[in-house]
A and B are shown apart, each in its own frame.
Chain A
Amino acid sequence: MKSDLIIVYSNIDNSKELSILRSYQVVDVFTDSGPIDSMLIEQSAARFLSEEDLVTDPAHPIFNEMDVLKNFALDCADNCQSSGVRLLTIEQMNQVILNANHISEFLNGLNQVGVRSVSENSKSAKGIWGKIFN
């Protein structure tokens, strides 16, 4: 089982008439093996978005709701056999970069930000023995 999948996303504010519609664009998806194959991102994104939505930039899908982004993230984590997934905003990621002068500081910083989720259906979810002993 691999470590957590990390998904960095940016908030996009679209003004439409008098209201502001917020959407979320995936910027980077990676594990401790580096960026994941863009095909895996496309595969997972295709489960939550229409073909039309994916035409422009399938490796950086845009979701209109945070819940859908979360579901996409969990699906991606399952596909990558990651133990869980952490969602980071681009601002959080930038803060980690700005605070780091060395790779080790960057990795430490990265482990302390973001919202972690684990899928209940995940192959990585703990079994009965895991629940008892942890």
Chain B
Amino acid sequence: MFGFEMEVSSGQGLTRDDDRIFPGENWFFYWKTSASLWQSKMAQCPGAQIIVPINWSFHSETGESYDFAHHRPETHLKKLCDLAKELGKEVIFLVPVSPVPYAPNGGIPHLLARNHSLTHDGMVLSTVDQEEAIHKIYSFFDTRVFQAYARFIRALYRYFHENSIDSLIWGFESFYLSNNKMVSLLEDHSKVFEQNFARFMDAKKDTEKEKISETGAIKPRPEQERALRKEFFETIRNFYHKELKNIFGQYVEGIVNVPFLGASPRDFLMRVYKQESSAYYARQILFCMTRNTMPSTILLPATLKQKSVGMLTKELIVGNYTKWLLSPGRYEGEEVSLYRPMRFFKILSRADSLDFWVKNGVMHCLFQNYPWCFEERLDERYLFNEEEDTRQILMIGGKTLDQNHLHQILKYFMAGGGVIIDRSGIELNILKKIELFLMENSLKVERVQFLTTIHHIALGDGRLVVVDGSQLSEAKAEEKTAFWEKIYSLFGIKNIHLDIPEGMECFWRVRNSISNELKYEEVRKLSLFNSSSYKRNMVIQLPKSFVLSKSLVETPNQIKTKPGVIELELLPHKSASLEFGVFS
């Protein structure tokens, strides 16, 4: 109307234009603004770290030629790093190893965008970004895409090397969340996948004939085919990962998994009808943190981020968690005061039986007593490290245990760590190995009968508990919870029990005590978020070994403290943080 576009504030002091350039968690979309504005834009960005995702399609329209500061000034990444340095900010580059949900064509050069990725149901995989644009995802199983990707990574490396760019570089794989499962954006059920899978099968048939067709049948059995599909998928995923790692070598720190909230096919429908809720995404952020991934809200609209999901991101993700995840060991001195997620448990799970810890009641008990204070490792092999902190309790299912795994876990136990084995599905020879280990070391086994037989072995500080979780399946939920509470009591976990009102979320973090806090063993930070539209009250009873050392409760929220008791009143869509000193 007035001949210019008004910039409307979307909260947190940023304008709508800034939201496009800084869509969340300090991600900087350098291609969405003029290079001449980079410095002023970056200066407004809160925090010391700026995450810069490399936009493949912006540097290569065709997939054949590349622009790194040759034609467009916005491709001058060296300049971007220098400007950030002048501002005292650190740039962390993220290089995609999969399609991305926030760029047209999933971030691939448009000439390569020929084969759409399909979901399991046959729907074109597509996402909605924060500006309500729809992006279609294209298959990374297309050979041309892989070849072009390899060429691009070489060109990118050359540019970084020639310009002596010394910023941190991470690879990242994009995911969406579907029923608490993380699904890679690499996943594809299109014809391209099928054609290449058929070729993979042919190659397999030649080399491993007996493995594929033991029965002499022409087609593999369904479970064999599933395993082969997974193998093929992992092979291609590794091609992309390896390409980046091989070319960048030691310059690439690793590959981080980034689940994009609001990117799932189900979310697509919720989002087109604007039915998404902040509380739904807030819980997803906490879930992603238990998987050591880097959740991103960059697809979500700014209006939604003014609610609980925005509070959680600001309080938990930006800064501390990102530093802890992406640049461990890089901040000498600062490391001490860096909060990391509080984790009493390390759960080793199998991606193909995610409900294992749900059925035996572990998850329910954890959420009641130690909400989000665990990490879940999927299909990962546990390797004992002598310098490892043994305060975490390792939890492992019988099906996950093989000889080597058992060996590593017993080492952890002997070093003073706590281990819980749910032996359901365990192989007989592994069970015998455990018995042999106990006999050889003359370890005393305490047997308790409570819903199932519990075997409890102590060795110094180490605790090993073996139970048969399959016998719990028929038990009532409260019985299961009581069972696991009993088991956890064997480990002497120091914890403040919280009765979290409905619509509220909490998250615990921990750091080492600093010089003026030497009376404390460690300092824990409890962040509370009211995702609901109502005022919430909470009463926290403090055990003797805890003392409230600091409270960050903004008015008009209220906090009252009495000896051993904290009373908190939290208004809708508000948060509060409490710090506790822990005595030994």
Q: Is B269 an interface residue (CB 8 A)?
A: yes
B273–A93 touching, CB < 8 Å: no
Task: Flag whether B392 is at the interface (Cβ < 8 A).
Answer: no
| A27 on interface, CB distance cutoff 8 Å | yes
B128 touching A103, Cβ below 8 Å: yes
The contact of B134 among A27, A90, A94, A106, by CB within 8 Å, is A106
User: Do B272 and A90 have beta carbons less than 8 Å apart?
Assistant: no
In the complex the two chains form, is B269's CB within 8 Å of A30's CB? yes
Q: Which residue of chain B has its CB nearest to the CB of A11?
A: B122
- Say whether A34 contacts B123, CB under 8 Å: no
Contact mask for chain A residues 101-112; partner B; CB cutoff 8 A; 1 contact, 0 none = 111111100000
- Chain B residues 117 to 176 lying within 8 A of chain A, measured CB to CB, are 121-124, 126, 128, 132-134, 136
B275 touching A34 by the CB < 8 A rule?
Answer: yes
Whether A102 lies near B133 (C-beta < 8 A) is yes
Q: Which of A32, A35, A93, A104 contacts B123 (CB 8 A)?
A: A93
Minimum C-beta distance from B298 to chain A (A): 17
| Residue B59, interface by CB 8 Å | no
Q: Give the chain B neighbours of A94 by CB distance below 8 A.
A: 116, 122-124
Known: A34-B275, A101-B133, A102-B133. Is A90-B270 also a contact (CB below 8 A)?
no
Q: Are A100 and B124 closer than 8 Å at their CB atoms?
A: no
Q: Decide if A55 is an interface residue (CB 8 Å cutoff).
A: no
Contact call A10/B121, Cβ cutoff below 8 A: yes
Q: Are A35 and B269 also in contact (CB < 8 A) when A98-B136, A103-B132 are?
A: yes
B266: CB under 8 A from chain A?
yes
Report the Cα distance A33→B271, complex, angstroms. Answer: 10
Contact of B122 among A27, A32, A101 (CB under 8 A): A27
When distances are taken between beta carbons in the complex, the residues of chain A under 8 Å from B136 are 97-98
**Which of B116, B122, B134, B273 contacts A102, CB < 8 Å?**
B134
Contact yes or no, A34 B128, CB < 8 A:
no
Does A42 count as interface, using CB distance less than 8 angstroms?
no
Other-chain contact of B269, A28, A90, A105 (Cβ < 8 Å)? A28
Contact of A35 among B121, B124, B126, B266 (CB under 8 A): B266
Report the separation of the CA atoms of residues A103 and B116 in the bound assembly, to the nearest whole angstrom: 19
Complex: A123 Cα to B133 Cα, angstroms: 36
CB distance from B177 to the nearest CB of A (A): 15
7 tightest Cβ-Cβ pairs between the two chains A and B? A34-B275, A34-B270, A103-B132, A27-B121, A94-B124, A97-B124, A90-B122
Chain B contact residues, CB within 8 Å of chain A: 116, 121-124, 126, 128, 132-134, 136, 266, 269-273, 275
Binding site for B on A (CB under 8 A): 8, 10, 27-28, 30, 32-35, 60, 90, 93-94, 97-98, 100-107
